[in-house]
Amino acid sequence: MAKQNIINRTIGVNFNNLGLADVLVWAPFTDKVLLKLADEELAIIKQEHGYFSLTTNKLKPGDQYQFVVNGKSLPDPASLLQPGGVHGPSAAFDLKAFAWTDADWQNIPLSNYIFYELHSGTFSADGTFKGIEDKLDYLVDLGITAIEIMPVSQFPGSRNWGYDGVFPFAVQNSYGGPAALQHLVNACHQRGLAVVLDVVYNHLGPEGNYFGQYGHYFTDKYHTPWGSAINFDDAGCDEVRRYFIENVLMWFRDFHVDALRMDAVHAIRDFSPNHILREINQHVAKLTQETGRTHYVIAECDLNDTRYINPLQKDGYGFDGQWIDEFHHALRVTAGGERNGYYSDFNGIADLAEAYQNGYVYHGQYSNQRQKTFGTTTEGINGRQFVVFSQNHDQVGNRMLGERSSRLFSFEMQKLMTGAVMISPFLPMLFMGEEWSEPNPFQFFVSHSQEELIEAVRKGRKAEFADFHAEGKAPDPQDQSTFENSKISWGLLDKGQHKVMREYYKNLIRLRKSQPAFKNTNRENMSVLVNEASNTLTIQRWTDDQQVICLLNFSNHEQQVNIPAGINQWQKLLDSADPKWNGPAVAAEFISSGIAAVSPQAILIYTQHHA
């Protein structure tokens, strides 16, 4: 494998300082590759390890092109833009043409990230990057510090969650393409917002997947839920590894993205001496050394294995953080949610206490659902390495009807659940619209063009809900109405309880950002007391000069909770049951040690300063 170029993208079509197109394609399955332009075909010169290269003045930015491989005209595997979709020609794009104005931007510390996950197609009425850009001032006012964008790599049609992408380098044409994404990131930085991009390296989608006609992109050594695994350790894997490393570097270097969220890394199979995930993070570290810009890589991982988030210096994979689904699962069961499917391993408030204390609920205990001892200890790991939430695209959208918390829990319980997220020593994440109790669902949608594949997706979705004993009929993923029904309702923003909820979220985020004890992600500065009989939690957090005490009542009745003695009186910071949040009662402004009454389904927060 050629030495990795940190500073410039080398594969696909790129434009050099002379304005010439440098073309490099890996096609070991053939001895001849042609570059097909509008009115001619150019021979590409064969190099070692299955590469073909060419430098030409006949391909300009915006021109469409294809590669002819074994007599077939195919799109470029490293295409940056597919103007006609996954089956059409690729279009040349100059990554360096955009006039960035964020030279003074510095990525914010990871501990200050307050994530807002959104889907580009359903976040705004027009479903584009421009639609997101138009709402950035709203997000800043809400208190968000980082937007997290679901995958944007080119997928079939115009409706998809993004996890069926088949061109990892190409930015979805219906969202606006690569130039519009660069413009969005630049606009975010102008407003002080970091940008997180969701990427998928555990599989490629089925429709428009021409990779197997080029080279050894896949291996049959391992099985994944999506078919053949991406080849990270079999014959030909060096060039596949290079391909995905270059993809990571491109998002950081050429799109100025601040962090990547890497989908389902537990499904990536690699028994190489240096795991591909570790090698990726090694290259990210080199990029930071070269550019001086800080970048984060966050994993979605189902293994409760701290090897993924341990630093490179300790032989870990070097991820800066990971999503913690178990916090979500324990929280929802505690709030009265169902206990079937993957929720069957969670028993309520004692597990939620475990999540607060350990990040993982399972950190070495026996799991009945997995039928084995599961998880590792998280001792010594800072809370900023865990991302928690009460909703996200998976946990909403993978319900059969895609119901949000607004349809499943009372108004009071919704306030308590988000309070539980915000007071944790972990990094909080919101899912678009939850801050105003969005009523519309977020359902699974696709826009494939092949009837056999469409039917397979329908059957697959139906089978997915067997463990949840779901009754009724799942929405048709292919039907456009399923997509339209999943758009969030901006018209509700300032109406009734929706406005109240939004103001409540703003207040909670303000507390998270302003109170030293909440800003501190040191998990050692926290105590957790659980009372299973009353379904309450008492969480204390502190710094050298402040203490906060959080009383969480998940029961349907008022509960009397013990308050520890302090140097001074405790002063109220938040009461979710206050009538100003449409709640039923007002708690005392000041309390001393003794007993506090906490309203049903409420969170009550007090503070005191030592000075």
Which of the residues are catalytic?
263, 300
Q: Which of 60, 73, 66, 76 is nearest to 15 (CA)?
A: 60
CA distance 36 to 66: 5
CA distance 352 to 361: 7
What DSSP assignment string belongs to 202-253?
S---STT--GGGTS--EEEEEEETTEEEE-SSSTTHHHHHHHHHHHHHHHHH
CA distance 278 to 256: 22
Q: Where are the beta strands (DSSP E) in 39-114?
A: 41-46, 51-56, 64-69, 72-74, 90-91
Three-class secondary structure assignment of 551-575: EEECCCCCEEEEECCCCCCEEEEEE
Give the amino acid at 233: D
**Range 531-569 burial, b when 16+ CB lie within 10 A, else e:** beebbbbbbebbbeebbbbbbbbbbeeebebebeebeee
CA distance 93 to 255: 13
Count of positions (residues) in the chain: 611
CA distance 66 to 60: 14
Q: What are phi and psi of 40, to 5 degrees?
A: -160, 165
C-alpha distances in Å from residue 259, one per residue of 166, 208, 319, 321: 21, 27, 11, 10
